[in-house]
Amino acid sequence: MQDHQKPLVSIIIVNYNTRAMTQACLDSVCSETRNIPFELILVDNDSGDGSVAALAAHPAVTKLIALGSNVGFARANNLAARHARGRYILLLNPDTIVRDRAIERLVSFAACCPDARIWGGRTLFADGRLNRASCWGRMTVWNQFCRAVGLTGLFPNSDIFNGEAYGGFDRNEVRSVDIVSGCFFLIERALWAELDGFDPLFFMYGEDADLCLRAHALGARPMITSDATIVHYGGASERTRAGKMVKLLAAKATLIERHFPRGSKTIGRLLLKAWPLSRWLAQSARSALTADKPEAAEAARTWREIWKLRATWNRGFGAGEQISSTEAADPRPTVLASMPN
């Protein structure tokens, strides 16, 4: 963007030990976003890989906010949003690559469909396969039952048995959805302020679902378009599958408590607990029957570990043991790079 222009969109990226990927993401923003004024606010969650020094001088970066501890995805985005000046806020994961003017196309889509108030695009894996994680349906007793008993895995392309992932939707058209993924998430800055941003209770995962469901209550109708496409690698900052699943399950438990009807919460919690238990038992049986497939044994060990850690996730964030690796009441932000407004 030109320094003297007020940005139309404020791009926020939260980095945590993904220096090389974040560099590639920033490069793609520069090369594919030339026709709209933007600012880019990068937050570093106390990375130990030299990210701050490497990324501070990148030409895409308007502000780099270095934190003294890892405060999680939700709080880091909230901190960055306080500096945003654009009409829109775009949340962009560091493990993404912007393709074919995707940001410009998404902003144009927002202008054409203003009543949605939250917008997303299509995501692909690095090899070009569809990454369905660009949007989600809200959790229900039915789709949690399907996941717990294995119907979701048996029929992944079914809207009936995989409704939470919109299994029958190839993300190839414009559609209203319940939840737009936080990896490529455009929202009116006014609506973000009205919602007070993400709930900081969500350390990582679930914050986008919670915000979209709260936005629905205010009349927003989130939409996605296939015209805006990015590459999303997914899970780049997570070291182990078990670590990711513990956070994800804690997020889901919190969403059940927050957004399920009162009479459905108990069954929702039971079905959530049944999911990792059923996966452990199923993978153990597979391992016993197919000894030539060591991946089944490894999967069984992972799901057993997740099940053993259930005290850390079954009551959600803010209950049981601390989910996050660090806790910071004062994130001690330091602005290391700031271009003139």
Q: What is the pTM of this model?
A: 0.90
DSSP line for 90-110:
EEE-TTEEE-TTHHHHHHHHH
Q: pLDDT value at position 319? A: 57
Contact, 64 vs 44, CB < 8 A?
Answer: yes
pLDDT of residue 322: 43
Q: Tell me, what's the pLDDT at 318? A: 77
128: left (phi over 0), alpha (psi -120 to 50) or beta: left
Could you tell me which of 127, 128, 149, 216 has the C-alpha nearest to residue 179?
216
Res 335: pLDDT: 67
> What is the reported pLDDT for 314?
92
pLDDT under 50: residue ranges of the chain: 1-3, 320-330, 340-341
- E strand residue ranges, the chain: 9-15, 38-44, 63-66, 88-92, 96-98, 118-124, 130-131, 135-136, 175-176, 179-180, 184-188, 223-232, 334-338
Q: What is the DSSP code (8-state) at residue 166?
A: T
pLDDT in tens, 180-210: 999 999 999 999 999 999 999 998 899 999 9
Distance CA 44, CA 48 (A): 10
Domains of the chain: 9-139+169-237+330-338 (3.90.550.10)
Helix, strand and coil percent figures for the chain, each rounded to 5: 40, 20, 40
Q: Tell me the per-residue pLDDT of 287-321, one tens digit each, with 9 for 90 and over.
A: 888 765 788 889 999 999 999 999 999 999 875 44
Q: Which helix (H) or strand (E) holds 191?
A: helix 189-195
